[in-house]
Copies of this chain bind each other. A is one copy, B any other.
Amino acid sequence: MLKISELAAKTGLSAHTIRFYEKHGLISASERSEAGYRYYNDADIRRAEFVKTARNIGFSLEDISQLLSIRVDKTSHSCQEVTDITQHKLDEVNAKIAELESMQHTLSILLESCCGGPEKATHCSIMEALEAGDVKKSRSAA
């Protein structure tokens, strides 16, 4: 049985974050001391580590929440449900990468066009490009 700071040390999450996750239903302590201290048993610890692993991959807390509900009753859920969550996340990641690569491309072109020196910015081709508006849009919603 670990106390919260011990679970924190073990998982690399902060005690604050562990309480925050508890408030959002991701983690819980099966026992409390008389004084109200949280005590985590082996199953709790494994669950916390599952959460940490999923978070490290990049899953949102909402995704993790869904993965956890599959985890507690695997016989009621299918591989497909798991791949759906994973695929959806991958789609998101791919969309974000595409957006960032577009920015990367635009920024690189801008940088190439500018001398980057100590001259007055009156002739700066980056500023000119921004004024002219002839750059493609990288950002979509939010």
Q: Is A103 an interface residue (CB 8 A)?
A: yes
Cβ B75 vs Cβ A120 within 8 A? yes
Copies in the complex: 2
The interface size bin for chain A is: 35 or more
Q: Is A1 an interface residue (CB 8 A)?
A: no
Q: Is A54 an interface residue (CB 8 A)?
A: yes
Cβ B121 vs Cβ A81 within 8 A? yes
Q: How far is the CB of A113 from chain B (nearest CB, A)?
A: 10
Q: Is A17 an interface residue (CB 8 A)?
A: no
Q: Is A83 an interface residue (CB 8 A)?
A: yes
Closest CB pairs A-B (n = 3): A58-B103, A83-B116, A56-B137
| Shortest Cβ distance from A46 into B: residue | B131
Q: How far is the CB of A64 from chain B (nearest CB, A)?
A: 9
Within the complex, which residue of B58, B135, B138 is in contact with A138, where a contact is CB–CB below 8 Å?
Answer: B58
Cβ A122 vs Cβ B83 within 8 A? no
Cβ A74 vs Cβ B104 within 8 A? no
A122: B residues at CB distance < 8 A: 74-75
- Bound complex: CA A96 to CA B55 (Å): 16
| Shortest Cβ distance from A117 into B: residue | B79
